[in-house]
């Protein structure tokens, strides 16, 4: 489990620079299967059926609420694409990687 799962998101209202390519590359080493696509941190999770997909989505909504950092989701019958970006800074921040790690931990339950 990544040490990122033990961290909490910090409020971000802008005024800080998003991660550059090198910082992003270093942070990606702490995650498995995540990629950067169109400036967002993205992963596709597979499921056996719609029920499992929706259970994951609902649990992720609870985690996102607690962290006050919300992903964009694309939900299908047996898959969910999760994408994080820190909108306030127009790029990636530690919050995105923290939430990605928590998302992976949730999927592993």
pLDDT in tens, 39-92: 999 999 999 999 999 999 999 999 999 999 999 999 999 999 999 999 999 999
Please give the structure tokens belonging to residue 29. Answer: 């080493």
| DSSP letter, residue 1 | -
What rounded mean pLDDT belongs to the chain? 94
Considering the domain 37-109, what is its CATH architecture? 2-Layer Sandwich (3.30)
Confidence of residue 10 (pLDDT cuts 50, 70, 90): confident
Confidence of residue 13 (pLDDT cuts 50, 70, 90): confident
Please, what is the Cα angle at 63 between 60 and 65, to 5 degrees? 110
Confidence of residue 1 (pLDDT cuts 50, 70, 90): low
């Amino acid at each position: 489990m990544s040490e990122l799962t033990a961290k909490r998101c910090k409020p971000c209202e802008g005024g800080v620079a998003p991660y550059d390519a090198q910082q992003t590359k270093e942070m990606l080493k702490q995650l498995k299967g995540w990629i950067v696509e169109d400036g967002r941190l993205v992963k596709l999770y597979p499921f056996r059926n719609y029920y499992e997909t929706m259970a994951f989505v609902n649990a992720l909504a609870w985690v996102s609420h607690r962290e006050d950092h919300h992903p964009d989701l694309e939900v299908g019958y047996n898959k969910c694409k999760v994408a994080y970006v820190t909108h306030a800074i127009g790029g990636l921040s530690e919050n995105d990687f923290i939430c990605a790690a928590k998302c992976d931990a949730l999927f592993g339950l």
